Structure 1
Amino acid sequence: MYDFLIAPFVEFGFMQRALAGSLLLSLGACPVGVFLMLRRMSLTGDAMAHAILPGAAAGFLLFGLQIVPMTIGGLVAGAIVAIGAGAISRFTVQREDASMAAFYLISLALGVLIVSLRGSSVDLMHVLFGTVLALSNDALTLIALISAITLVVLAIFWRAVVAECLDPLFLRSVSRLGPPVHFIFLGLVVLNLVGGFQALGTLLSVGLMILPAAAARFWTARVGPMCAIAVVIGIASCVAGLLMSYHAALPSGPAIILSAGAIYLLSTIFGTRGIFNTRVRHHRHRTA
């Protein structure tokens, strides 16, 4: 048992860095995923994950696989897409989901094209799927900073973020925080996707944000506990995925996301609000 569960994280530095980066990502990204889900913006998160690709690719084109230029590029590209999609939805007849989908398709194609101009297929795979087993100390520092910023901002604006999720019209009627909180939240989404990009790439970073949140929804209806459960599920997924990657020689990023997917499927069946318990309660209600 020790050799299977603990020894890989004790004996190898790259596994320790991968575990630390994954845990830090779970702390910041999973609560943000809960609010994305409650806002019915889960697919928006996926679109935003691809929106950072052109900026990160531009950083790669100019400076190679260096963290700071790719991070700055990703932040700038994500901010442009978030503001652009929001502006189009506010000043035209097109809804935000449609404008986000348009930006998503353009960003994905542009990012792949930029990477292909200079890099090889290996570089493209690195950008799209990440290399969690090759996280450097600089990447860990960046991920830790993003997680800390996320937790602090959520703590400060918790009530406003929850109110904006559940009843945005009420928040706008009693406070002027509605629009600012919306863009602050989108900023947190972009930040965490940029952090996840370092470990899981642009295609998979949103998975650690959404799947644990979706699974947590089957265990509780309260926002606070839902965020805590999502973090626990995210951590468990990361540990399980890294162990699968180590012992079975699987790609680490997909292994982590598939672990989260397995927990999601189990939650849909056995969660307190899942299929099994819902049918049991329904049966008891009919026979009562």
Structure 2
Amino acid sequence: MWTEHDVQAGDLRMHYVAAGPEAGPLVVLLHGFPEFWRAWEYQLGPLARAGFRVVAPDLRGYHLSEKPAGVEAYRVETLQGDVSALIRALGRDRASVVGHDWGGIVAWQLAIRQPEIVERLVILNAPHPAVSRKVMKRPAQQRRSWYIFFFQLPWLPERLLVPFGNWALHGTRPGSYTEQDRAHYRRAWAQPGAATGMINYYRALLRYGTRHGLDRNDPDNELVKIPTLMIWGEKDVALLPDMADAHPWVPDLQLVRLPRASHWVMRDEPVKVNNLLMAFLQP
């Protein structure tokens, strides 16, 4: 169904899986924490059969991709640069980008900073950065985001991730992750340097933020003018429902809320998500 590859994307060696005709419209699927390319196993086949060239990378620090040392290597503008370099390394100038969780945060940054390379944008349970800063001021969201603050500690989060990492997949619908799935994840987390790389996303987020290099005096510097679809699982235990309210920053936005799905919306509702993706991404 899919093939595995490695490619030099800028200064980073990235591992990815690919499916579908090589000449098809390119769709890049970006996973979140604590997953890797396998987050999209229910989407790869259907999108490929619909004629898309589908690429799902392991992001920087994850699974089989390169894991640079140091927190600074995980700034959002660097992560966004990895994806644009991957698109170029695949011989393309543009791609539709689909991101979940941290992959969604990276996808937002790509659409804000390099809109010329994003054909269409799909976000699954990841807030627009301006919405995130606003809602994170609320105590209710801070309580839900307790793990972000825990991850700022040295070494301890890494020590606990592999033996207790299943907690990070909590809140999903029963059966969405099988024991075999969880075994795949434990092996990915156990890759040398992966635990630190994954957690450094959160350390860099609090240390450097998401607006480095943007003109803070420009009120429109985070506008997204690309056609955008947001798919939001309303039973998200980590994010308040208001985190999906991106309309002021995304004029061309379609928001679809799935009331029975959790944060792991593409696993809980794969048929609905796939139908939404294929309808929205058709050229």
Pairwise same-fold verdict (TM > 0.5): no
Report the TM-score when normalising by structure 2. 0.26
Which structure exhibits the higher relative contact order, with contacts defined as CA atoms closer than 8 Å and separated by 6 or more residues?
Answer: 1
Structure (1 or 2) with the larger CA radius of gyration: 1
Name whichever structure is richer in helix by fraction.
1
